[in-house]
Amino acid sequence: MILPTPYYLIYERKLLKNLKIIKYLRDSSGAKCVLALKCFSTWCVFDLMKKYMDGTTSSSLYEARLGREKFDKEVHAYSVAFSKNEIKEVKQYADKIIFNSVSQLKMFYNDVRGCQIGLRVNPQVSFSRFDLADPARKFSRLGVIDKKSLLRAAPLINGVMFHFNCENDSFENFSSNLKTIVHTYGDLLKTLQWVSLGGGIHFTKSGYPLEKFSKLVKAFGDKFGVQVYLEPGEAVITQSAELVTKVLDIVYNKINIAIVDSSIEAHLLDLLVYQTNAKIEMSGQGKFKYMIAGRSCLAGDIFGTFKFKSRLKVGNIIRIADAAGYTMVKKNWFNGLRMPSIVVKRQNGSMREVRRFEYKDFLNSLS
């Protein structure tokens, strides 16, 4: 099947590999896993994902609605700040509503009666390689810090959410930070029905001590008599998709530069935000060096510099690996470039283009 580039290609078999790890974790630890829609909201594969997960967690009204309409299992609704116009609609979709502050909890408590209610807590310990993503960074607005106000609010809530990791592949770090949480908030945790330990834990990574992680999570839940929730995003979809592009031109400026029909600014924005290189499988094994660059007018629209076994030519296909998390949810119309289509390779090997973006989509995104 020949498809016009660029397109995101999701492999169901690779996705299933991660989902089976999640099933093992759920079965062995008793934890429930809800998909973090802020990372991945491509609902064409939700029918597969919901067989192995317990629901979704959201960061906005629209994500909460998507979780209810397309995943249709448990819905956790969180926002850094809900507006008065949103809260009653959020209640229609959510099973649990998690507030970011005590002030928002008090403001909307009467509006959300009947739902399970939670608070986000900032334990002031975290793991992140980037200050931009560190939830415990200086002056962080993410979650309640003052323990006294938290304890005063305890009679109003059923649970809490600690989101303190970002791509944390260190079991030792997670274990250490969890011990700090237990020591600091043990008196509160004993009064609750559920506790979310958030997302950002890279437990599907090859070599991660999954059994130790499972035992630790189970012990935590048993100690406090709470239902533990995890909110995996990247862990669910890691290594399950790629961005397929084509070389349009090759120019030279002290280095060979291959320009592809995609853009890091428009189609892999997270790489630009965090100043990290794209991943191209099978590169780095040859002697022919090329900078792979996007076609937007942004001077720094660069995927990275790679080595190939043979010289690149116009028309060659370049596959950007690990292009699921924080990609499709962030794609945009910068420069009016056509967004990559979304293609799924099903478990039976068949390919299906589930969405192609055209001029009318660009037109309707503006007014």
Q: Which residue, chain included where needed, has tokens 């008793």?
A: 30
DSSP reduced 3-state for 303 = strand
Global pTM reads 0.95
> Do 105 and 154 meet the contact criterion of CB atoms below 8 Å apart?
no
The answer to whether 34 touches 194, Cβ cutoff 8 Å, is no
Cβ atoms of 158 and 195 closer than 8 Å: no
State how far the Cα of 294 lies from the Cα of 296, in Å rounded to an integer: 6
Q: pLDDT at position 2, please?
A: 84
Q: How far is CA 210 from the centre of its chain?
A: 20
Q: Which domains are assigned to the chain? A: 12-237 (3.20.20.10), 238-364 (2.40.37.10)
Low-confidence ranges of the chain (pLDDT < 50): none
155 prior amide bond cis, ω within 30: no
Chain position carrying tokens 């992140």 = 128
Q: Encode pLDDT of 181-237 as tens digits.
A: 999 999 999 999 999 999 999 999 999 999 999 999 999 999 999 999 999 999 999
